Chain A
Amino acid sequence: EVQLVQSGAEVKKPGESLKISCMGSGYNFAASWIAWVRQMPGKGLEWMGIIYPGDSDARYSPSIQGHFTISADKSISATYLQWSSLEASDTALYYCARLSPYGGSFDYWGQGTLVTVSS
């Protein structure tokens, strides 16, 4: 069974760093793209970026890139979303999602990681 399991909720202060994770199982993790999607409070889903764990090729949304980094460690079937200096506007629910091997859609999703940034 395909599963994506995300790390737990985080509460951080502005300026702090953070790395959240998404662990995959039940399929060839290295061979499927994993995307990160955010949902800010009261807002819709936003596609942030995507990574191919096999070679760590990452692509970012032109609209919201620059403030975070997506990485992967295929040896432990993990992808990561990290910030070096959080801002209050990073407060959101973050999902990872697998790009279907058939392309063009996200067939399995993690349970979400709530990140709260507040002083």
Chain B
Amino acid sequence: QSALTQPASVSGSPGQSITISCTGTSSDVGSYNLVSWYQLHPGKAPKFMIYEDNKRPSGVSTRFSGSRSGNTASLTISGLQAEDEADYYCCSYAGSTTYVFGTGTTVTVL
């Protein structure tokens, strides 16, 4: 069970849109509609941003959206804001009540 692959870093200017990819395999991302995304700010616990590939929990900004195609899921942040600068991790169900996280992406707002 290997970590899902994410780009190490993505950057954008305020107001722009960025997309973070999350590539797995047919044993995890590709087999289930169960990719979730988490935002980590330094010194704080992870925040739950997206579940079931593209659903937003209550209270999460509509600027965050998720999608999935085959073995690759994506998180898009539109209207980038300074407060979006953080680390982002995807996570996928991998069968038999096990899960796997992505390698993580640092988002920088220029």
Do A97 and B102 have beta carbons less than 8 Å apart?
no
Beyond A37-B101, A105-B91, whether A95 also contacts B34 by CB under 8 A is no
In the complex, B46 has a CB within 8 A of chain A: yes
In the complex, B110 has a CB within 8 A of chain A: no
**In the complex, which range does the number of interface residues on chain B fall in?**
20 to 34
Do A45 and B89 have beta carbons less than 8 Å apart?
yes
In the complex, A54 has a CB within 8 A of chain B: no
Listed residue (B33, B89, B99, B100) with the most chain A CB atoms within 10 angstroms of its CB: B99
**In the complex, which range does the number of interface residues on chain A fall in?**
20 to 34
Chain A nearest CB, measured from B76 CB (Å): 18
Of chain A, the residue at the smallest CB distance from B101 is: A45
In the complex, B36 has a CB within 8 A of chain A: yes
Listed residue (A45, A46, A111) with the most chain B CB atoms within 10 angstroms of its CB: A45
The complex places the Cα of A90 from the Cα of B49 at a distance, in Å, of 28
In the complex, B7 has a CB within 8 A of chain A: no
B34, B57, B101, B103: the one contacting A47 at CB < 8 Å is B101
Near A by CB (< 8 A), chain B positions 78-105 give 87, 89, 91, 93, 96-104
Beyond A100-B51, A106-B48, A112-B45, whether A59 also contacts B96 by CB under 8 A is yes
Do B52 and A102 have beta carbons less than 8 Å apart?
yes
Could you tell me which A residues sit within 8 Å of B by CB distance?
33, 35, 37, 44-47, 50, 59-63, 95, 97, 100, 102-112
